[in-house]
Amino acid sequence: MKLKQRVVLLAILLVIFIFTKVFLIDNLDTSAANREDQRAFQRMLAGLRVALEPRLEHTLQSPWEIAAQWVVPREVYPEDTPELGAVMHAMSTKRIVKADVGYKGTQLKALLILEGGQKVVFKPKRYARDYIVEGEPYAGYDRHNAEVAAFHLDRILGFRRAPLVVGRFVNLRTEIKPVATEQLLGTFMTVGNNTCFYGKCYYCRETEPACADGDIMEGSVTLWLPDVWPLQKHRHPWGRTYREGKLARWEYDESYCDAVKKTSPYDSGPRLLDIIDTAIFDYLIGNADRHHYESFQDDEGASMLILLDNAKSFGNPALDERSILAPLYQCCIIRVSTWNRLNYLKNGVLKSALKTAMSHDPISPVLSDPHLDALDQRLLSILATVKQCTDQFGPDVVLVEDRMTLSHL
């Protein structure tokens, strides 16, 4: 064989070797990542049922100190949380030492301080479990049980970006009124034999109070994030205008995602993929009201998108508002880990997992069966949407590998 032919042959063999090696390494990396996703899913299922009990073993720290130490830029709580039941027990039982009107917002809430100095946000029950909220997908009062369900869905999806939430019954007469500020106390009233309050917020009205059953009010409490992690508010790029006849740009511009990708913080880092994770989360719970979102301050786009204020969810199980998925079907990208987790939750696993996760909550049953059934149906729609994207652009473009090491020191 001539020297020139040998050189060409060697060059061809070298190219084949390099491509084979790269292909095998990529496949091995992908296979290893998929196996870790499967193991993480099994660990999640094993720890799904959280019994609320007061014991904190092998530590002298308070539940509030433990929960504060969990928070890092990409997680509110870690995957392994043996103390979760004790923290949630404290949230649902610790003595209330102060009650005030809620922080700024459009919906009724109260800011409580529990024994030990921990702030929590209390959202009162406004609807029975089987009540259907008609009208726009963002219509109606906040649903306290939606906050509880959304927190547990966050656990199931493996996002761990929602603050802790648990149901709680409070006695307005003996637990709240004696420690209420004058501003909150001035909104209390009696309707029939029931103690009520209307608080202070944009839509709070004396004519529309939240009423207890006698003195006992059901609600949810959300753990306040530590003050050392101040929040920064952002306008959601796929937010609605909330004005009849006026569309947001994303509602008519098919190339809108391309424009978003050119603007900070969506032009680099994890934020755009967080937006898409959040769209999936919101579509499952029926939340079409995420007009803004929060991250940690001074994060340069590296902080997670924190899943706060999920109470405009689980309003109508028959309404699947597809526009919530716009970030997914317009950008046609999704994290591989999210895609794997969604596939593991098929065939009724999601409904069963959420029902199990919520079973020990003080206000259980948290959701009616129609809402649980709707979750499984919406999951199929998400999977079909991703398939449409992969059919059009290919899985290598749509499925994005974006895993981050999350350390809890």
Residue 173 DSSP code: I
| 178-216: b (≥16 Cβ within 10 Å) or e | ebbeeebbebbeeeeebbbbbbbbeebeeeebbbbeebe
Give pTM, 2 decimals: 0.91
**pLDDT one digit per residue (tens) for the chain, 409 residues:** 555 565 555 555 554 444 444 344 344 456 778 889 999 999 999 999 998 988 887 778 999 999 999 999 999 999 999 999 999 999 999 999 999 998 778 999 999 999 999 999 999 999 999 999 999 888 999 999 999 999 999 999 999 999 999 999 999 999 999 999 999 999 999 999 999 999 999 999 999 999 999 999 999 999 999 999 999 999 999 999 988 889 999 999 999 999 999 999 999 999 999 999 999 999 999 999 999 999 998 767 789 999 999 999 999 999 999 999 999 999 999 999 999 999 999 999 999 999 999 999 999 999 999 999 999 999 999 999 999 999 999 999 999 998 755 444 3
Q: Establish whether 182 is an annotated binding residue.
A: no
Q: Establish whether 53 is an annotated binding residue.
A: no
Q: Establish whether 402 is an annotated binding residue.
A: no
Q: Establish whether 294 is an annotated binding residue.
A: yes
pLDDT per position as a tens digit, 276-331: 999 999 999 999 999 999 999 876 778 999 999 999 999 999 999 999 999 999 99
Q: Distance between CA atoms of 315 and 286, rounded to whole angstroms?
A: 7
pLDDT per position as a tens digit, 39-63: 999 999 999 999 898 888 777 899 9
Q: What is the pLDDT of residue 1?
A: 53
Q: Distance between CA atoms of 291 and 166, rounded to whole angstroms?
A: 24
Q: Looking at this protein, which amino acid is placed at residue 59?
A: T
Please tell me the number of Cα atoms within 13 Å of 305 on its side-chain side: 24
Before 237, cis peptide (omega within 30)? no
Q: Establish whether 222 is an annotated binding residue.
A: yes
Q: Establish whether 42 is an annotated binding residue.
A: no
Secondary structure class of 75 (helix, strand, coil): strand
Q: Distance between CA atoms of 131 and 334, rounded to whole angstroms?
A: 34
Q: Looking at this protein, which amino acid is placed at residue 5?
A: Q
Q: What is the pLDDT of residue 22?
A: 38
Secondary structure class of 169 (helix, strand, coil): strand
Contact in structure between 299 and 306 (CB atoms under 8 Å): no
Give 112-117's long-range contacts (Cβ < 8 A, gap of 24+): 112/221, 114/90, 116/62, 116/63, 116/64, 116/90, 117/64
Before 265, cis peptide (omega within 30)? yes
Please tell me the number of Cα atoms within 13 Å of 267 on its side-chain side: 4
CA angle 274, 341, 343 (to 5 degrees): 125
Q: Distance between CA atoms of 218 and 111, rounded to whole angstroms?
A: 15
Q: What is the pLDDT of residue 59?
A: 79
Q: Establish whether 223 is an annotated binding residue.
A: yes
Residue 24 tokens read as 């095998």
Q: What is the pLDDT of residue 196?
A: 98
Catalytic residues: 289
